[in-house]
């Protein structure tokens, strides 16, 4: 689905770039904006469990405290959209729950009305885009520091900088719209005027990515009598609805909680807008009463608009703030978290419990199912698929081509492909018990051990993944070559086991191949360690990199050994009638060491 969407979007974007420079700026602004979101989220994650989390816990542990936090933040930043974006990042990083996030949205809606008072009263507005450049400069400086918290601060600053820069690009690209809209041309009385001007307010705010810009246009127009006061009220309603689009854009790069928060923001402002439209006359009367008490002149429509803006958001608080929990229930039904499909056992049928042989075979087949899922995870970690093992292309070339590795989510894949099946196998074996003759009990014991080896191989792959992904983008070619060797040896080992399995299933008994693989593991390990020592001695890599390589070579060895032990049980012992004879024919550890020593001396 994503590939199809990409094939549609790329030509459309290309056509838009060719057609209009303004469109190019808009697209760049959205891209920079979303990249800023990712940086913000990464920065906030660096503080999980630290100072920021404690501050948030103290200031957002109740809905009312969250409201206060949102009000102060929006009043300082002069952007409810920006506060929404930051709050979505907090949620995505797990530093806030949804109740606190919605509380912050309510507070930011009210806090941002201070900008309308500044526009109406002083004709001034804080321009947040001017802070983008210094934020980026200081942010990048912090990112290059070694401390985790300094890096976190750097990512937050660069995230804010990119976010503001993205908004700036969008505003600059839409500047023509702001300069050419003449509101006097659209003056309309009655209900039609309310609906049309609400739509105009929504569209203008979406285009300019700022409710403040819409408020500025509206206040200026009403102050020179270009539009009627009633039409201006509708524009304010539209601006409040349109400002939610910023949060919706931000939610594209967020998790399900971020999407729920963006949905809540839109829900609150949209239904508050509908409510106010229905009772626009009553709100007009309320504005007149409040304005009179505040000493605002009857003819000062600009200040009255600022009053209406505040009253609009207060109405939203009164209507929806007491029902935050009900909102969350509704949002959870609308934005359903898609859980990955969990792989289930294929062969563990309760009817197999009737006979010892069927129990063993069911467990063996299910263990092979588990093994195949594990191979999928290991290959995907190195950017490959099972089908790559059958390609004519060299495995080394396939690995070397993948010079920009994407970190594969092993934890999620383990939950999806391994955990359920592994748990079911262990439970099935436990239910079967060990009440039969020794042959069946021994086979079940081997199968249990084989499953443990499979799981251990995945755990070792996860340990190896971090450095493999990190050092594969190193500037040191020697380091890249060694990590390519590690990946190649693991993948080649899997390919050899696969060949071994096919020979077994073809009624051949390649015991020498099995012993060769065992000897190869030891020989490869010795050669790898010697190569690393040589690179350190010749100063082609640093001792620190060398120690990482040695540790990762050990993980490589363990992965290969665990996979081979599992394969020996699943494919060799399970396909011959006499397991004891197989054990006698197979070389023992001492014999394998002798073979390796002989090869090494040649």
Q: How many CB atoms lie within 10 A of CB 440?
A: 17
- Please give the residue that has the higher pLDDT: either 3 or 453: 453
- pLDDT tier, 250 (very low <50, low <70, confident <90, very high otherwise): low
Q: Is the pLDDT of residue 554 over 70?
A: yes
- Give the model's pLDDT for residue 148: 75
Mean pLDDT of the chain: 77
For residue range 484-543, what is the model confidence (pLDDT) as tens digits? 899 999 999 998 898 888 877 776 655 556 777 888 888 888 898 999 999 999 999 999
Domains (range + CATH), the chain: 16-334 (no CATH), 350-601 (1.20.58)
- Give the model's pLDDT for residue 565: 92
- Give the model's pLDDT for residue 578: 39
Range with the largest mean pLDDT of 175-179, 300-304, 322-326: 322-326
User: Which H or E run includes 228?
Assistant: none
- How is residue 473 written in tokens? 């983008």
Which residue shows structure tokens 């070579």?
553
CA angle 480, 547, 141 (to 5 degrees): 70
Total H helices, total E strands in the chain: 28, 0
Query: DSSP assignment of 338-366, as one string?
Result: -PPPPP--SS--GGGGGSHHHHHHHHHHH
Q: Is the pLDDT of residue 574 over 70?
A: no
DSSP 123: S
Cβ atoms 531, 482 nearer than 8 A = yes
- Give the model's pLDDT for residue 335: 83
Mean pLDDT of the region 55-73:
80
- What's CA 499's distance to the chain center, in Å? 37
Q: Is the pLDDT of residue 44 over 80?
A: no
Cβ atoms 514, 575 nearer than 8 A = no
Q: Is the pLDDT of residue 125 over 70?
A: no
- Report the alpha-carbon distance of residue 74 to residue 103 in Å, rounded: 13
Compute the Cα dihedral for 562, 568, 570, 573 and give only its sign: negative
Minimum mean pLDDT range among 106-115, 165-174, 193-202, 497-506: 165-174
Sequence-distant (≥ 6) Cβ neighbours of residue 172 within 8 angstroms: 25, 29
Percentage of residues in the chain with pLDDT exceeding 70?
72
Nearest Cα neighbor of 383 from 402, 356, 364 is 402
User: 509-518: long-range contacts (C-beta < 8 A, 24 or more apart)?
Assistant: 509/576, 511/572, 511/582, 511/585, 511/586, 514/564, 514/568, 514/572, 514/586, 515/586, 515/587, 515/591, 515/592, 515/595, 517/493, 517/564, 518/564, 518/587, 518/592
Q: What is the largest CA-CA distance in the chain?
A: 103
- CA dist 2 to 10, 16, 380, 416, Å? 12, 21, 19, 21
- Report the alpha-carbon distance of residue 490 to residue 590 in Å, rounded: 24
Percentage of residues in the chain with pLDDT exceeding 90?
16
Q: Is the pLDDT of residue 582 over 70?
A: no
Q: Is the pLDDT of residue 81 over 50?
A: yes
Q: Is 274 helix (H, G, I), strand (E, B) or coil?
A: helix
Q: Is the pLDDT of residue 301 over 60?
A: yes
Mean pLDDT of the region 235-259:
77
- Give the model's pLDDT for residue 602: 46
- Please give the residue that has the higher pLDDT: either 166 or 171: 166
Cβ atoms 232, 275 nearer than 8 A = no
DSSP 570: I
Nearest Cα neighbor of 229 from 276, 298, 312 is 298
Nearest Cα neighbor of 105 from 76, 70, 73, 74 is 70
- Give the model's pLDDT for residue 49: 46
- Report the alpha-carbon distance of residue 66 to residue 89 in Å, rounded: 15
Distance between the two ends of the chain, CA-based, in angstroms? Answer: 56
- Report the alpha-carbon distance of residue 45 to residue 64 in Å, rounded: 25
- pLDDT tier, 553 (very low <50, low <70, confident <90, very high otherwise): very high
Q: Residue 144 — φ and ψ, nearest 5°?
A: -80, 0
- How is residue 457 written in tokens? 């191989």
Cβ atoms 46, 148 nearer than 8 A = yes
Minimum mean pLDDT range among 284-288, 379-383, 386-390: 386-390
- What's CA 302's distance to the chain center, in Å? 44
- Give the model's pLDDT for residue 564: 92
- Give the model's pLDDT for residue 304: 86
Minimum mean pLDDT range among 208-217, 309-318, 584-593: 584-593
Nearest Cα neighbor of 243 from 219, 276, 215 is 215
- pLDDT tier, 122 (very low <50, low <70, confident <90, very high otherwise): low
- Report the alpha-carbon distance of residue 121 to residue 112 in Å, rounded: 15
Nearest Cα neighbor of 290 from 278, 305, 279 is 305
SS (H, E, C) 541-559: CCHHHHHHHHHHHHHHHHH
- Give the model's pLDDT for residue 596: 46
Sequence-distant (≥ 6) Cβ neighbours of residue 245 within 8 angstroms: 205, 206, 209
Which residue shows structure tokens 């500044």?
118
For residue range 453-476, what is the model confidence (pLDDT) as tens digits? 999 999 999 999 888 888 877 788
Cβ atoms 382, 402 nearer than 8 A = yes
Minimum mean pLDDT range among 131-145, 175-189, 192-206, 428-442: 175-189
Mean pLDDT of the region 280-306:
84
Minimum mean pLDDT range among 270-274, 278-282, 354-358, 538-542: 354-358
Q: pTM above the 0.95 mark?
A: no
- Give the model's pLDDT for residue 249: 73
């Amino acid at each position: 689905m994503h590939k199809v969407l990409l094939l549609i979007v790329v030509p459309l974007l290309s056509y838009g770039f060719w057609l209009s420079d303004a469109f190019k700026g808009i697209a760049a602004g959205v891209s920079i904006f979303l990249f800023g979101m990712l940086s913000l989220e990464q920065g906030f994650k660096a503080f999980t469990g630290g100072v920021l989390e404690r501050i948030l816990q103290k200031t957002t542990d109740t809905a009312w405290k969250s409201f206060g936090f949102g009000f102060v933040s929006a009043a300082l930043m002069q952007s409810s959209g920006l506060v929404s974006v930051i709050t979505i990042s907090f949620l995505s990083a797990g530093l806030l729950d949804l109740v606190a996030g919605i509380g912050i949205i309510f507070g930011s809606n009210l806090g941002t009305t201070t900008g309308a008072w500044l526009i109406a009263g002083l004709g001034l507005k804080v321009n947040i885009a001017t802070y983008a450049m210094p934020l980026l400069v200081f942010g990048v400086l912090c990112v290059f520091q070694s401390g985790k918290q300094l890096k976190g601060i750097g990512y937050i600053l660069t995230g804010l900088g990119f976010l503001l820069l993205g908004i700036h690009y969008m505003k600059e690209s839409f500047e023509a719209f702001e300069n050419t809209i003449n509101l006097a041309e659209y003056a309309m009385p009655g209900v039609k005027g309310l609906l049309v001007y609400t739509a105009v307010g929504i569209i203008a705010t979406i285009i300019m990515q700022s409710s403040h810009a819409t408020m500025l246009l509206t206040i200026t127009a009403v102050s020179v009598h270009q539009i009627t006061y009633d039409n201006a009220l509708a524009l304010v309603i539209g601006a409040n609805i349109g400002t939610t689009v910023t949060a919706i854009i931000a939610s594209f790069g967020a998790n399900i909680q971020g999407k729920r928060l963006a949905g809540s923001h839109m829900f609150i402002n949209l239904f508050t807008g509908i409510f106010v439209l229905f009772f626009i006359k009553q709100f007009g009367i309320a504005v007149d009463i409040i304005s009179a008490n505040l000493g605002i002149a009857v003819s000062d429509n600009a200040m009255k608009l600022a009053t209406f803006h505040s009253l609009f958001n207060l109405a939203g608080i009164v209507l929806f703030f007491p029902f935050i929990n009900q909102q969350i229930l509704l949002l959870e039904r609308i934005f359903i978290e898609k859980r990955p499909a969990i792989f289930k056992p294929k062969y563990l049928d309760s009817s197999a419990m009737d006979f010892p042989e069927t129990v063993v075979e069911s467990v063996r087949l299910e263990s092979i199912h588990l093994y195949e899922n594990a191979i999928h995870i290991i290959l995907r970690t190195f950017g490959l698929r099972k089908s790559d093992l059958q390609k004519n292309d060299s495995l080394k070339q396939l690995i070397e081509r993948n010079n920009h590795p994407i970190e594969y989510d092993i934890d999620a894949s383990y939950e999806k492909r391994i955990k359920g099946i592994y748990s079911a196998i262990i439970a099935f074996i436990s239910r079967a018990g060990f009440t039969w003759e020794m042959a069946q009990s021994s086979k079940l014991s081997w199968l249990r051990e084989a499953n443990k080896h499979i799981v251990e191989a995945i755990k070792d792959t996860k340990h190896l993944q971090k450095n493999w992904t990190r050092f594969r983008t190193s500037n040191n070619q020697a380091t890249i070559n060694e990590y390519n060797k590690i990946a190649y040896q693991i993948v080649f080992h899997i390919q050899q086991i696969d060949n071994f399995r096919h020979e077994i299933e073809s009624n051949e008994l390649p015991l020498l191949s099995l012993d060769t693989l065992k000897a190869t593991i030891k020989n490869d390990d010795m050669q790898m360690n010697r190569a690393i020592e040589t690179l350190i001695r010749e100063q082609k890599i640093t001792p620190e990199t060398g120690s990482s390589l040695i540790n990762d070579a050990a993980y490589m060895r363990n992965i290969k050994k665990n996979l081979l032990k599992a394969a020996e049980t699943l494919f060799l012992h399970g396909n011959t009638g006499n397991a004891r004879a197989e054990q006698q024919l197979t070389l023992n550890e001492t014999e394998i060491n002798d073979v390796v020593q002989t090869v090494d001396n040649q």
